[in-house]
A and B are shown apart, each in its own frame.
Chain A
Amino acid sequence: DIEVGVINSLSGPFAAFGERYQAGMEVALEEINAGGGVRGEPLTLSVQDDRSEATSALAAIESLNRQDVPLIMGSYASSITGPMAQLMTRQEIPLIVLGSADNSITKPGSPWVFRAKHNSTIVAESYFDYFDFLREQDDSLETVAMLYGNGAWPASLAEEGERLAEERGYEVVGNQSYDQGTSDFRPILNRFRSEEPDLLYVVAYAEDGVAIARQMREVNLNAKAVAIDTGAALPSFVDQVGDLAEYVATVVSWSKDVQYEGVEDLYERLKAKTGEEPTFYEAEGYLALRVAADALERAESLERSDVRDVLAETDLDTPVTHVAFESFDGFQGQNPIRSLVLQIQDGEHVTVFPTDLAAEDVRYPTPVWDER
C-alpha cells in the first residue's frame, strides 16, 4: 500500500468543515483505487485529527513523519495550516493545502507547499470582476458597503476587497467588521441603509450569513447587487433564508453546473457519499487527493524530494478545476484557479460568471424588498 498523510479537523470548532473535506477525499480515494491505485498499489489515507488546534497538528506531522508518508494534506484553518506549512518546509515534507485559503500560506510560500484551491486575492478579484461585469450593464454602480467577520478569512477578504475597490474606482461607503458569534447585525445594517450602497460585499460564515440576509429584510436594506461570501454558498443558506436568498451572489471554487468535464458524475458521487447536497468543500477535498495521487503516480520514487519536484510540475484536469502550481504576484505553489460566481436563482445555486463557464445569465438588478 501507498499511504498518504491527512491532517484534518475532525473534532472541535472546525469539525463542520473537516467532515466535508473528509467526504471529498474518500470519494477521490474510491475513484483512484477503482482505477488501479497509484503505481499499481492501492492508495490509503493515514488520517490524523488536529482537534482544530495547531499544537495537535504539529504533533500529527511528527507522527506521520514517523510513518514515512510521502506527503501530507491539511488542514482547514489558517491558524493550523500556517504553522504546519512552516514546520513541513523545515522538515522538507510536501504539503498539499486542504482548506485554508489565507494568502499567507502561499505568499511568499515555500517550495514544499502547494495549494490547488483559491486564496483571498483570487476570490476578491472574482467578486470585483463580477461587479465590473455588472457595471458594464449599469454604469450607475458606484458605491460599495463591506461587512465581514473578524476571523482570519473574512478579514483578509475584506482587506483585498478594500484594495480592489480603490483600484477599480468604487467608493467604499461602509466598512464594518463584527466579532464572530454576534447574531444581531441590525445596528450595522441600519447604518448601511442610510448610506444607500449600490453593492453589498459581505464575508460571513454560515450562521452569520443567514442572520445577515434575514435582518437585511427586517431593516429594509436594499442594494442593486448583494454578494455574501462563504455563508451563501451552502445549500442550507437557501433552506434557511428562503425567498430572501434570491439574487444573492457568492464565489466558490466549484459548482455542480460548471462547464467542466465529469462534473455531473462527481456531483452524483459526492452526493451519494454524504447523502446531502455537496458543496465546494467536498470538491476541494476531492481535488487535493486527486492532485496528490497524480503526483505520486508521476514521481520517480516516493522520496519526498521527488514527490515535491513532480508536484511543482502538475498539469492536471479534474472535474473541479484545472491544476498547475505557479509563481505569480508574490505567490508560490499556488494554482491560479478560476473561481466561479454563483447566484441564487429560484432556490438554486447557479453559475453565472465567468461567462464562459456560466450556466445561466445573471439576474440584475436586485429588486427592492418592498417590490418582491
Chain B
Amino acid sequence: MFDYVSFLQNLSNGVLIGGVYALIGVGLTLVFGVMKIINFAHGDFVILGMYCAVLLNSLLGWDPYLSLLVAMPLGFVAGALLQRLVLSRLMEAPPESSLLVTLGLALVIGNILLLTFGAEPKSVNVSYASSTVSLGEVSFSMILLLAGLATMVVIAGLYTVLNHTELGRAIRATADNRLGAELVGINTRWIEAVVFGIGMALAVTAGVVLIPLLFATPTFSGAIFTLKAFVVTVLGGLGNIGAAIAGGLLLGVVEVMGASYLTSDYRDAYGLLVFLLILLLRPEGLFGKTVKRV
C-alpha cells in the first residue's frame, strides 16, 4: 500500500528545505552572473549572518527575524566594501584568482569567528523551534515555513529589481559586457560593489533565517553551505535568479525523497547526481541559454 500521507509529508518537507537551499543559492547566482566570480566564501557569509543573529540574541534578546534589520544592511555594506577593496583588484586576472581569493577569505572569516566566538557551536533557541502547522494530516515545520516565506519575499524583490528597474538593466548589462557598460556610462565598479553587496546581504539573510534551525560553527559548515549554493546555482543556470528557486526546490525534493524512499546515507549524493545529470544534459542549467558563435 502506498502511503499518500507520508508521501505528501515528505514532498512538502522537500519543498520547504528546497526553499532554504534557494535562499542560500540565490546570492551566489547573482554574484556569479554579474562578476563571473565563483565565490567560495559564500557559505561563510551565511555563517556570518548566523553569528550576527546569535550576537543580537544574546546581547539584546532579539528574535532572529528582527536581527535582519541589522544584518542585511551590514551585509550589504560589508560586501560592497569587500568588492571595492579586494575583489575589484582581480578584474584583469584569470578567473581562478577570484576562486582562490574567496577561498582565502573563507579561511579568514572562519578563523576570525573562531578567535572571537570560540569553536563551540552557537544557536538561538526560539520558542517556535519545533512547532508545526498542520494541514490535514500533513504538518509543516514552523521555522521552515518562515524560511520559505523569507525566500519568496527576497527572491521576488530581487527579481523585480533586476528585471524592472534601471539599476537591474545596468546590472544585466555589466554582467554581459563590462567594457560595453562602461562605454554607455554605467559605473561598473559601483554596480559590481552593489551586486556583491546584495549577494552578501542575501547570504547573511539566509544565515539569519537558518539560525533557529541550525548551529553556527566558525570553520566547519561554511563549505557545506557553499557546496549547496553551487548546486542550486548550477541547477538553475548560473546567473539566472528565477531559476535559482527551481534549482533549490529540485535539490530539496530530490534529497528528501531520496532519503525517504532510498537510503539516507546517500542523501547528498541524490542531489549531486541530479545536478550532474542536468549539467550534462543541459550544460547551461535548467533554464540557462546562451548563444555561442564560432
Contact = CB atoms under 8 A, between A and B. Distances in A.
Interface string B139-165: 101000000000000000000000000
B130 A215 contact: yes
**Interface of A, helix, strand, loop or mixed by DSSP:** helix
Contacts of B9: 190
B129 interface: yes
B213 A176 contact: no
B260 A181 contact: no
A298 interface: no
Interface string B13-26: 10001000000000
A208 B217 CA distance: 12
A260 interface: no
Contact of B114 (A11, A184, A211, A217): A11
B123 A177 contact: no
A181 B224 contact: yes
A13 interface: yes
Contacts of A239: 125
Contacts of B111: 11
B256 interface: yes
Contacts, number: 95
Contact of A177 (B13, B119, B129, B264): B264
Contacts of A15: 114, 119, 218-219
A206 B221 CA distance: 13
A218 B6 CA distance: 14
B118 interface: yes
B259 interface: yes
B268 A16 contact: no
Given A16-B119, A206-B215, A187 B224 contact: no
Contact of A184 (B6, B17, B215, B218): B17
Contacts of B139: 218-219
A338 interface: no
A194 B5 CA distance: 12
Given A11-B114, A15-B114, A239-B125, A187 B256 contact: yes
A269 interface: no
A279 to B, nearest CB: 10
Nearest to B265: A177
A39 interface: no
Nearest to A19: B119
A242 B125 contact: yes
Contacts of B213: 183, 211
B214 interface: yes
Contacts of A12: 219
Interface string B197-225: 00000000000000001110111110010
A141 interface: no
12 contacts: A16-B217, A17-B119, A176-B264, A178-B259, A179-B268, A181-B221, A183-B214, A186-B141, A210-B215, A214-B129, A217-B130, A239-B125
Interface of B: 6, 9-10, 13, 17, 111, 114, 118-121, 123, 125, 129-130, 132, 139, 141, 213-215, 217-221, 224, 255-256, 259-260, 263-265, 267-268
